[in-house]
Amino acid sequence: MPPKEFLILVFICIGLVIVKFIYHKVKTPNDNISPQISREVQVIKKHQDGMFARMGGTYGLYVLKKDRKKYITFKNIKNDVKTELVVPTNDYAKIQKGQIGILITQGSRYVKFECISHKEITP
């Protein structure tokens, strides 16, 4: 018979997988039924998540992440509201800080950015 700790660990792992699955199913359909919204924005910041992930342990084992998320922060020109979105790698490479364009989102998901100009807005 396996030790109690092992069984508890297995149930915790199964529970985490179920929670992740339910969260994904609840969030995704809401984005899919949301209307696409376009607004004029300026790119104010670009960054990626960390290159290394800490695996824990006494000595802090770090491993190289294979897929890094790319983030871009957009500022709405009309009301100065900032929005940070995860963008695909291809778009991340094309979009530059200071660009002004039309941002299209669907719910909390990035759809497209169409550049209008490269001028920065002065406050």
Question: Given this model, what pLDDT does residue 112 score?
Answer: 95
Residue type, 24: H
3-state secondary structure 3-54: CHHHHHHHHHHHHHHHHHHHHHHHHHHHHHHCCEEEEEEEEEEEEECCCEEE
CATH number, domain with residue 100:
2.40.50.660
> Do 84 and 29 have their domain in common?
no
Buried b (16+ CB within 10 A) or exposed e, 49-65: eeeeeeeeeeeeeeeee
> Do 57 and 100 have their domain in common?
yes
Tell me the per-residue pLDDT of 50-102, one tens digit each, with 9 for 90 and over.
666 555 555 556 556 667 788 999 999 999 899 999 999 899 999 999 999 99
Number of structural domains the chain divides into: 2
> Do 76 and 41 have their domain in common?
yes
Strands 100-106 and 36-48: antiparallel
Q: Domain for residue 9, yes or no?
A: yes
> Do 105 and 58 have their domain in common?
yes
Residue type, 47: H
Question: Given this model, what pLDDT does residue 20 score?
Answer: 83
pLDDT of 1 above 60: no
Q: Domain for residue 19, yes or no?
A: yes
Is 105 in a helix, a strand, or coil? strand
Domain of 26 in residue numbering reads as 1-33
Tell me the per-residue pLDDT of 3-52, one tens digit each, with 9 for 90 and over.
888 888 888 999 988 888 787 766 665 667 788 999 999 999 998 876 66
> Do 12 and 69 have their domain in common?
no
Mean pLDDT of 104-122: 82
> Do 103 and 67 have their domain in common?
yes
User: How far apart, in whole angstroms, are the C-alpha atoms of residue 117 and residue 53?
Assistant: 37
72, 78, 81, 84 alpha-carbon torsion, rounded to 10°: -10
Question: Given this model, what pLDDT does residue 74 score?
Answer: 95
> Do 9 and 57 have their domain in common?
no
